[in-house]
Amino acid sequence: MKQALGWLLVATLALTVPYAARAVEDEDTGTQGTGRVDEPQVPVLWKLGRGLQNAAWGLPAEIVKNTLSEAFKSDTAFGFGSGIFEGVLVGIGKGFWRVGAGVCDIVTFPAARLAPWYNEYLPPYPF
């Protein structure tokens, strides 16, 4: 099991990290690239990497993100405690949605432009 998770992590990093380092200098203009990492050069691999990342890390990432964001919305102790409780529940809900979207991305990665399960409520990446 640990070996399978290790290979999943390696595959996720191998498919997503090269796109983050795309800002190479353009020889014609002497300027850096667009600096945007949300414009993939190979959309099929980008979608597969996003699907692997969301399927593997979607649930824990959403739980942590929503717990912290809900807990620090209030400045009282009661608000902090209820924010933690609410954040865990919201994180579990969004996490299962993100894992499902990741599985859909993995299954439909040959159709790179198809992604109706992401919107402003659930962006393609948790952070």
Residue by residue, DSSP assigns 76-109 as SHHHHHHHHHHHHHHHHHHHHHHHHHHHHHHHTT
Which pLDDT score is estimated for 10?
Answer: 65
pTM of the model: 0.63
Specify if 121 maps to a domain.
no
Range of the domain at 70: 2-107
Residues 6+ apart with CB under 8 A from 90: 66, 70
Measured over the CA atoms of residue 43, residue 48, residue 53 and residue 55, the dihedral's sign is: positive
Asked, for residue 77, whether it belongs to a domain, the answer is yes
Q: Does residue 25 sit within a domain?
A: yes
- Spell out the per-residue pLDDT of the chain, length 127, in tens: 767 667 666 666 665 555 444 444 445 555 455 555 556 677 888 889 889 999 999 999 999 999 999 999 888 888 889 999 999 999 999 999 999 999 998 998 888 777 777 777 777 777 6
Type of residue at 21: A
CA torsion angle for 52, 14, 4, 53 (degrees, to 10)?
Answer: -20
The reply to whether 120 falls in a domain is no
- Indicate whether 123 belongs to any domain: no
pLDDT value, residue 100: 92
> Does residue 12 form part of some domain?
yes
Report pLDDT for 97.
92
pLDDT at 25: 45
Tell me, yes or no, whether 75 lies in a domain.
yes
Q: What pLDDT is recorded for position 38?
A: 59
Number of folded domains that form the chain: 1
